[in-house]
Structure 1
Amino acid sequence: MADARETVAVVVVTYNRADLLGLMLDGLVAQTWQPDAVIVVDNASADHTAEVLRRADLPLRVITSEQNLGGAGGFRMGMETAYAGGWDRIWLMDDDVVPAPDCLATLMAIDEPALMCVREDLEGRLVEKSATTFDLRNPLAIKPKTASIETTYATRSAMPALVEIQVVAFEGLLVRREVVTAVGLPDADFFIFYDDADFALRARKAGFRIWAVRDAVLVRQLAFSQQHALESWKGYYMYRNLFVVHFRHGENALVRVKPYAIAAAVTTLSPLRGGRAEARNVIRAIRDARTMRKPRAESGQAPTRR
């Protein structure tokens, strides 16, 4: 059993989703274990987010960025602030989920350094995509995530109480300070996508195990839709950051050169897939990923103790 005296700060990153953010904050108010701080990073929203954040029913601290730092930059800023604040645990949360009332209490009762909520959709279907297998050893595995909670278990009730996972989302991840001390902050250079995977892989390399907690439920308010965006601006980040993960964490030389094979295949097949837009994305992605093989000195480093 975890120490009941442990404190916890929630870090929320939001961008132009004021109404969803309001629902998520209502979910925090309803928690049976009340957080000690709620740090909201507003990524330069242009909607009525500021109005939604004018509330006194939570220990809110709002950080308003002058520009959109992406999820990666927002979570880095929020986690750094929470770490500096001295709280024992840090709970990362997106603006489009609502935690069940006992979600945080369920997590806080488990004496593990890294825990992940389990997500359901509005109809109660299991939609947890955290990877139970993230294969960076087999060069023939086109996508490293070869199994997830969602694909392994038909329903949440079919899960054991704890399931070890290899890659997470920054949408319900709870970590103790010791994890941040050991592996550092999220790398803001990812902007969006795979910043959470990079953080989880660093944590596992440092010897931490990560557990999905069956009874800690988050309800997603929106459907997952990123798989159809490879020809859009998001596709560039999907490809680039996937390649960066291979360059940084590939377990052998063949895996570390796999991004070149993927880029060549996508370019060749682009007339049958996303056309010139996807081809441009992947060419630019492989070029830029090469510059991110190693994080910049200030990216992902451990925050200064205070």
Structure 2
Amino acid sequence: MSAETVAVVVVTYNRADLLERMLVGLAALERLPDAVIVVDNASSDHTPGVLAAAANPGLQVIRTEDNLGGAGGFHLGVRTAYHGGFDRIWLMDDDVIPAPDCLTVLMARDEDCLMAVREDTAGRLVEKAATRFDLRNPLSIRPKKAMVETDFGSRDRMPDLVEVENVAFEGFMVRRTVVDAIGLPDPSYFIFYDDVDFAVRARRAGYRIWAVRDAVLVRQLDFNQQHDLSGWKGYYMYRNLFVVHLRYGENVLVRLRPWLITAVVVLLSPLRGGRAEAGNVIRAMRDARGMGDVPTRSVD
């Protein structure tokens, strides 16, 4: 394991100050990565200057012509790392900072799929990877039923390894053999649920995913999942949730759940999100049907 190579893949968009601190954190790791691949999603702030000044060994910058979203960025970054021949690929958002020994701890584990465990800047456990992700119960609107944070409350209550059923692309490490088996992250999600989709595919291919208690990753920003469902992010949240159900629902009733959610949102729209949310959910349902196929195993 000590001889394995590892590339970090970071996706960034218009968050230069966060990215700068994150790159400093990577440069301070005890065990330096063999490459740091940053996908700059056509940022319009001073991100290019931050990257030009960065002193990270093995830094590769890919600047896209358009914003590909997090999903498109991770697809491109993982593809680049895979074709670079690296044994492991460590996925990072631009708002996290690893503890100095984080990569050392992960690389010491002989497992194919690993998660660093996130905490906030005050040291509180904020790891939201699901320990139970239910795509079987048709009465369950939200598939995430339990997560590391709520199961344990604090890091010191966790065992060394906790099996999780989905991941965030914030500290997720995967061996190239997993990419061989299931293919690349799906860029068509744009934002949200691309990481969930990848985890579901990995688990269905027989891989287990482990959150590693002592691999510490600090999140610079507070979690804010309460997006405006009548805005543009709301469209992607609805559409991509529906895609996960249509692709991976374990029975017909679960795969029909997006239609039920659409109907309920439209019926209740006068009382909550109005026409904008109703329009979002109708468009999301229509577009999700066109994304129903599970991605191929291609790595091209």
What TM bracket, shorter-length normalisation? over 0.9
For residue 244 of structure 2, what is the amino acid of its counterpart?
Answer: V
Query: Is the 1:133–1:165 contact (alpha carbons within 8 Å) kept by the matching residues of 2?
Result: yes
Report what 1:83 is aligned to.
Answer: 82
Query: Is the 1:188–1:300 contact (alpha carbons within 8 Å) kept by the matching residues of 2?
Result: no
For residue 100 of structure 1, what is the amino acid of its counterpart?
Answer: A
- The 1-side partners of 2:160 and 2:36 are apart by 27
- The 2-side partners of 1:203 and 1:302 are apart by 14
For residue 298 of structure 2, what is the amino acid of its counterpart?
Answer: A
Query: Is the 2:31–2:104 contact (alpha carbons within 8 Å) kept by the matching residues of 1?
Result: yes
Task: Output the aligned Cα RMSD.
Answer: 1.0
Report what 2:259 is aligned to.
Answer: 260
Report what 1:13 is aligned to.
Answer: 11
- The 1-side partners of 2:122 and 2:94 are apart by 19
Indicate yes or no: 2:292 matched with 1:301.
Answer: no
Query: Is the 2:227–2:233 contact (alpha carbons within 8 Å) kept by the matching residues of 1?
Result: no
TM-score when normalising by structure 1: 0.96
Query: Is the 1:39–1:62 contact (alpha carbons within 8 Å) kept by the matching residues of 2?
Result: yes
Percent identity, aligned pairs only, is 68
Indicate yes or no: 2:24 matched with 1:32.
Answer: no
Report what 2:131 is aligned to.
Answer: 132
SS in 1 for 2:223: coil
- The 1-side partners of 2:180 and 2:37 are apart by 19
For residue 20 of structure 1, what is the amino acid of its counterpart?
Answer: L
Query: C-alpha deviations, 1:122-170, integer Å up to 9, x for none?
Result: 1111111100001000000010001111111111111111000001001
| Residues 111 and 95 (structure 1), Cα distance of their counterparts in 2 relative to 1, 3 Å cut | same
Report what 1:150 is aligned to.
Answer: 149
Report the alpha carbon displacement of residue 104 of structure 1 after superposing the two structures with TM: 0.6
Aligned length: 299
Query: Is the 1:182–1:302 contact (alpha carbons within 8 Å) kept by the matching residues of 2?
Result: no
Query: Is the 2:36–2:56 contact (alpha carbons within 8 Å) kept by the matching residues of 1?
Result: no
Query: C-alpha deviations, 1:8-37, integer Å up to 9, x for none?
Result: 000000000000000000010010110000
For residue 301 of structure 1, what is the amino acid of its counterpart?
Answer: R
Indicate yes or no: 2:33 matched with 1:42.
Answer: no
For residue 193 of structure 1, what is the amino acid of its counterpart?
Answer: F
**Structure 1 gaps, min length 5:** none
For residue 264 of structure 2, what is the amino acid of its counterpart?
Answer: A
Report what 1:113 is aligned to.
Answer: 112
SS in 1 for 2:8: strand
Runs of 4+ in 1 over 3 A off after TM superposition: none
Report the alpha carbon displacement of residue 57 of structure 1 after superposing the two structures with TM: 3.4
Report what 1:180 is aligned to.
Answer: 179
Query: Is the 1:113–1:179 contact (alpha carbons within 8 Å) kept by the matching residues of 2?
Result: yes
Report the alpha carbon displacement of residue 50 of structure 1 after superposing the two structures with TM: 0.5
Query: C-alpha deviations, 1:254-290, integer Å up to 9, x for none?
Result: 0000000011111112222222221111111001001
**Structure 2 gaps, min length 5:** none
Report what 2:243 is aligned to.
Answer: 244
For residue 303 of structure 1, what is the amino acid of its counterpart?
Answer: V
- The 1-side partners of 2:197 and 2:68 are apart by 17
- The 2-side partners of 1:197 and 1:144 are apart by 11
Indicate yes or no: 2:193 matched with 1:194.
Answer: yes
Query: Is the 2:181–2:297 contact (alpha carbons within 8 Å) kept by the matching residues of 1?
Result: no
- The 1-side partners of 2:265 and 2:214 are apart by 40
